[in-house]
Amino acid sequence: MTLILPMAMHRWTRLSTQRMEEDWYARLSHIDPEHLVMLTQAESSALKIQVFGDKKTVEQLLRDFGGKMTQLAPEAWIESQARPPFSIRGRLWIHSDDATFRAAANTERDIFIPAGMAFGTGDHATTATCLRLLCDIAPHLPAGWRGLDAGTGTGILAIAAEKLGASAVEAFDFDPVCIRVSKENAKANRSRKIAFTVADAQRVGAFQKADVILANLYSELLIASAPGLAKKLKPGGHFIFSGVLVSQATEVSAALEKCGLGTPRLVKRGKWCAGICLA
């Protein structure tokens, strides 16, 4: 399967060793986990670190840590291996191959995110756990519930919210590239109830209140954005978050509780942690 990028994206690459993996996660904790890839191989101690983002972000990484910067031009094709569809709680099916998506018997519960996407394909621990938590609460949400997706990335969580019954979803990201990608993905999934906007997670005053807020953000941004996001959650609403390292979970939980949210129920997947709490 192939994918044409909607506009120029950049990739930062640095080689290290596997014993330094935890240190690199700490050094790059400000990077959205969906944009960060750690690659290892069996019978090798090498670690390849990749970050996908805009030119400014990648240039700063190059200055801070060395490594290599590569521009992925809009005309460039990304070749990638499509993965078999996988299920989220038996309620959603995530496809990376357009052929399997088009052949799906129930497109109302099938989501297509192209395999060529560098991030946000649903199989990373951060996104997958958000999807599971959303699937768990969806049957218990009020009819016509509204969603707010903070840091939408590829739009997968917003698309999932619509597939699971949301009457309207507002989704935003600070990166215009992500918004363009999200709109294309929403179109491919025939999603018509999502409004995508370029916005800052710390300035959410213009958005409507929601029954469910999805915040797949790195911990520092999540903590800084929590006061504003908490005000956008309806009474009794659910706040689902991810993108947090296990070592940062206590600090994030305390910040959410300080904003008046309930004590989060945490779900750990390897080095990553997600959670859900009530307004």
210 and 269 co-located in one domain: yes
Length of the chain: 279
Please indicate, yes or no, if residue 100 is contained in any of the structural domains.
Answer: no
67 and 8 co-located in one domain: yes
Please indicate, yes or no, if residue 13 is contained in any of the structural domains.
Answer: yes
Distance between CA atoms of 137 and 134, rounded to whole angstroms? 5
Grade residue 115 by pLDDT with cuts at 50, 70 and 90.
low
Mean pLDDT of 72-92: 66
Answer with the one of 78, 95, 128 that is the final residue of a domain.
Answer: 78
The residue among 152, 274, 235 whose CA lies nearest residue 201 is 152
Please indicate, yes or no, if residue 93 is contained in any of the structural domains.
Answer: no
56 CB-near residues (< 8 Å, 6+ apart): none
160 and 238 co-located in one domain: yes
Distance between CA atoms of 149 and 170, rounded to whole angstroms? 6
Which CATH number is 183's domain given?
3.40.50.150
pLDDT exceeds 70 at position 251: yes
3-state secondary structure of 87: strand
Give per-residue pLDDT as tens, 230-250. 999 999 999 999 988 898 999
Please indicate, yes or no, if residue 185 is contained in any of the structural domains.
Answer: yes
59 and 149 co-located in one domain: no
48 and 142 co-located in one domain: no
Specify the pLDDT at position 100: 82
128 and 72 co-located in one domain: no
Specify the pLDDT at position 123: 53
74 and 129 co-located in one domain: no
The residue among 107, 203, 118 whose CA lies nearest residue 159 is 107
Grade residue 124 by pLDDT with cuts at 50, 70 and 90.
low
pLDDT exceeds 90 at position 183: yes
The residue among 217, 176, 215 whose CA lies nearest residue 197 is 176
Please indicate, yes or no, if residue 9 is contained in any of the structural domains.
Answer: yes
Specify the pLDDT at position 170: 98
Give per-residue pLDDT as tens, 23-70. 888 888 888 776 787 776 667 788 888 888 888 899 999 999 999 998
Specify the pLDDT at position 223: 96
**Beta strands 272-278 and 265-269, pairing class:** antiparallel
Looking at per-residue pLDDT, the higher value among 40 and 225 belongs to: 225
Answer with the one of 46, 78, 110 that is the final residue of a domain.
Answer: 78
Domain count, the chain: 2
**117 close to 154: Cβ distance less than 8 angstroms:** yes
Distance between CA atoms of 71 and 74, rounded to whole angstroms? 9
Give per-residue pLDDT as tens, 52-63. 888 889 999 999
Specify the pLDDT at position 75: 41
The residue among 2, 33, 5 whose CA lies nearest residue 184 is 5
Specify the pLDDT at position 81: 52
Range name among 2-6, 26-30, 123-127 with the lowest pLDDT average:
2-6
**238 close to 276: Cβ distance less than 8 angstroms:** yes
Give per-residue pLDDT as tens, 131-175. 999 999 999 999 999 999 999 988 999 999 999 999 999 999 988
Please indicate, yes or no, if residue 85 is contained in any of the structural domains.
Answer: no
pLDDT exceeds 80 at position 200: yes
Mean pLDDT of 126-134: 90
127 and 220 co-located in one domain: yes
264 and 209 co-located in one domain: yes
Please indicate, yes or no, if residue 196 is contained in any of the structural domains.
Answer: yes
Question: Which residues form the domain of 192?
Answer: 120-278
Specify the pLDDT at position 7: 52
Specify the pLDDT at position 4: 38
Distance between CA atoms of 139 and 165, rounded to whole angstroms? 9
128 and 207 co-located in one domain: yes
pLDDT exceeds 60 at position 90: yes
Answer with the one of 78, 94, 129 that is the final residue of a domain.
Answer: 78
pTM above threshold 0.85: no
pLDDT exceeds 70 at position 74: no
Please indicate, yes or no, if residue 92 is contained in any of the structural domains.
Answer: no
Q: Residue 161 corresponds to which tokens in the numbers above?
A: 């919210």
128 and 227 co-located in one domain: yes
Which CATH number is 12's domain given?
3.30.70.120
CA dihedral 253, 257, 262, 268 (to 10 degrees): 0
Grade residue 79 by pLDDT with cuts at 50, 70 and 90.
very low
Instruction: Specify the residue for token string 């998506």.
Output: 101
Specify the pLDDT at position 76: 42
Specify the pLDDT at position 82: 58
